[in-house]
Structure 1
Amino acid sequence: MLTAVKRIGVGPDGVVRSGWKVAGFFGLCVASVMGAAVLVGMFGPAWALRDGQPWPVVAVSALLIVGVTGLCLRFEGRSWADAGLLPDRVRLGQLAAGMAGGLVLVGGLAWMLMLGGVLHWEPNRPFTTSLMVSGTLYFVCAVLVEELVFRGYALRRLAEGIGATAAVVVLAVIFGGYHLLSVGSSVTVKDGGAELAWTAVGPLVGAIVFGFAAVRTGGIALPLGLHLGWNWTQWHFFTFPADDNPVGLWTPLVSAHLAGDPAPFRVGYLVTMGLAVAAIAVMTRRPQHPFTALAPRLP
């Protein structure tokens, strides 16, 4: 443990090591989100927030964090290509594959739960086209922010200090903690207990899957697609009226005998994440990107 700490500090030659770079990057990202919220609050048009999806804040945050990432790369004399963030045909293909995979995973989970008699759906008739647009913009920008922060620059720099496997785990824990802080005060989890713990554990498991995809492909395109496809489809299938987000295309109705029992959803989620890891491993049997050199212990 002490060796790992030494590797992420400041070396005897005065060179800033990966841990301090990641800490500085996170600090700039937090400042970017706070700045975006202030700017939108001061200058954002009222019509942009009328559907309850704060996409302008996350859109401005995404732009600022792209700038922060570029600044950090420039400081180190690295390029966007070095960070796996330069779009090309391969990356765009990975993005598309990830989006399709996320949609299939959530759809498969919904299908399994339906066959198991856990829940069914009815159309959400108040759902509007404008809500679809604003909700889609929100998820695109929010997922981009999270992937840039947790699977972009930070993952690469931390992997250089402690190895890719440890870096994925460390950032997954931080990702879970971030979700705990952001939604831990909501009505459904504020009483604590298992519900509050799952608020962190669920995203932590997802972050390990996304981090695995990032390491295996050397960039954020595949995890970005998976994350976006998952979140966007989940919005339409698994958003309940009591949740913070508006209900999507369908309203889920849980069977009366399972009301209040989250076990089928949590077990289904873990099984689905396991299938996602297996699919990623099959898709990237022979990863060729230089990032894999940072991950000798990652299968």
Structure 2
Amino acid sequence: MKKNLVLRIGLFYLLTLVIFALANVLKPLLLSMTLAALGTYVLSLFFLRREGLSPASVGLAFGQHSVVRFCCGLTGGLLMAGLQPVFLLASGQFHLERVHPSAGPVILQLSVYLAAACREELVFRGYSLRRLDQQYGLWIAQAVLFVLFALEHKITGMSWLTAFVGAGSGALLFGLASLKSRGLALPLGLHLAWNAGQWLFGFKGTPGLWRAVVEPGYAEQAEFLGYAAYGVAVGIAAIIIYFYYRHENHRAHTPAESQA
């Protein structure tokens, strides 16, 4: 039974990559990301149907607390993203330059981040994470999805350090949020706000509302402080989630208890 589950999850992940690759052929980026997210959702429903499970059993159902949890995730993610420039500004070797983009490009970029976050949460924090957790427990489930999440980000162009320390730490936080809240609303809000916040502050390579500028000769120091701020932010968020849901049994199996 457990061996079959591992094979099914492996097949599920490979098929999500196929969907992602096929969707990426299309332009513009928002369309491809949206189709990848929708395709992954349909694939999740197919696997759940094959196993006789409901969407709610892996946190894919919309529940009465979904909107509130999503908003809490957005707030927390923006606070996390804001901690990086605070750390860097305090060093005195970094500053932000205000950029004045028009509303259209900002809305478009935020929409792309939303579609991308939806796709990744469905791939890594929905069917795969919840089924692994139910069969093997939190630590193994988190470890497997941590590696897959980091490797996927490495393949898409990140450095090993950024993929495993940056994206990997995010995977653990988003996984904890999914398991403890028994849904995807909270991790989706965190994920979206983190990526969007980094872009808005200019940490994604292209400026959002600001351009991040490091003084010459301080690039390594800025990178270290950036990772330190990220580690502090992830740690604080994880502690808050853990203690807020400390009385919850994250391994709930009943549909009524497993809503987004």
- TM-score with structure 1 length normalisation? 0.79
**Structure 2: how far apart are the matches of 1:180 and 1:81?**
31
- Counterpart in the other structure of 1:236: 200
- Counterpart in the other structure of 1:218: 182
- Counterpart in the other structure of 1:141: 115
1:89 and 2:64 are equivalent in the alignment: yes
Number of matched pairs:
253
Identity %: 30
1:24 and 2:18 are equivalent in the alignment: no
* Kept after mapping to 2: 8 A contact 1:215/1:291: no
Q: How does 1:149-164 map to 2 (within 5 A)?
A: 149-164=123-138
Query: Cα deviation per residue 1:174-211 (whole Å; 9 max; x = unaligned)?
Result: 11111111014xxxx5xxxxxx3333321111111111
Residue 145 of structure 1, CA deviation = 0.5
Query: What residue identity is the alignment partner of 1:229?
Result: A
Q: Secondary structure at the match of 2:24?
A: helix
- Counterpart in the other structure of 1:64: 39
- Counterpart in the other structure of 1:182: 156
1:201 and 2:161 are equivalent in the alignment: no
Structure showing greater Rg: 1
Q: How does 1:6-85 map to 2 (within 5 A)?
A: 8-9=2-3, 17-38=4-25, 40=26, 44=27, 49=28, 54-85=29-60
Query: Cα deviation per residue 1:53-77 (whole Å; 9 max; x = unaligned)?
Result: x111111101111100111111111
Match of 1:266 among 203, 227, 230: 227
Residue 116 of structure 1, CA deviation = 2.9
**Structure 1: how far apart are the matches of 2:231 and 2:151?**
19
Residue 118 of structure 1, CA deviation = 4.0
Query: Cα deviation per residue 1:271-296 (whole Å; 9 max; x = unaligned)?
Result: 11111111111321211555389xxx
Q: Residues 139 and 148 of structure 1: is their aligned pair in 2 closer, same or farther, counting only changes over 3 Å?
A: same
Q: Secondary structure at the match of 2:32?
A: helix
**Structure 2: how far apart are the matches of 1:198 and 1:232?**
17
**Structure 1: how far apart are the matches of 2:96 and 2:51?**
51
- Counterpart in the other structure of 2:258: none
Q: Residues 292 and 73 of structure 1: is their aligned pair in 2 closer, same or farther, counting only changes over 3 Å?
A: closer
* Kept after mapping to 1: 8 A contact 2:73/2:189: yes
Higher relative contact order (CA 8 A, sep 6+): 2
Name structure 1 gaps, 5 residues minimum: 1-6, 10-16, 190-195, 294-299
Q: Secondary structure at the match of 1:247?
A: coil
Query: Cα deviation per residue 1:61-105 (whole Å; 9 max; x = unaligned)?
Result: 011111001111111111111111111221221111111110111
**Structure 2: how far apart are the matches of 1:19 and 1:215?**
19
TM superposition outliers: structure 1 runs of 4+ over 6 Å: none
Q: Secondary structure at the match of 2:198?
A: helix
Cα root mean square deviation, aligned: 1.9
- Counterpart in the other structure of 1:254: 214
- TM-score with structure 2 length normalisation? 0.90
Query: What residue identity is the alignment partner of 1:132?
Result: V
1:101 and 2:76 are equivalent in the alignment: yes
Query: What residue identity is the alignment partner of 2:155?
Result: L
**Structure 2: how far apart are the matches of 1:80 and 1:146?**
17
* Kept after mapping to 1: 8 A contact 2:16/2:123: yes
Q: Secondary structure at the match of 1:285?
A: coil
Residue 251 of structure 1, CA deviation = 0.4
* Kept after mapping to 1: 8 A contact 2:87/2:225: no
Q: Residues 99 and 140 of structure 1: is their aligned pair in 2 closer, same or farther, counting only changes over 3 Å?
A: same
Q: Residues 216 and 292 of structure 1: is their aligned pair in 2 closer, same or farther, counting only changes over 3 Å?
A: farther
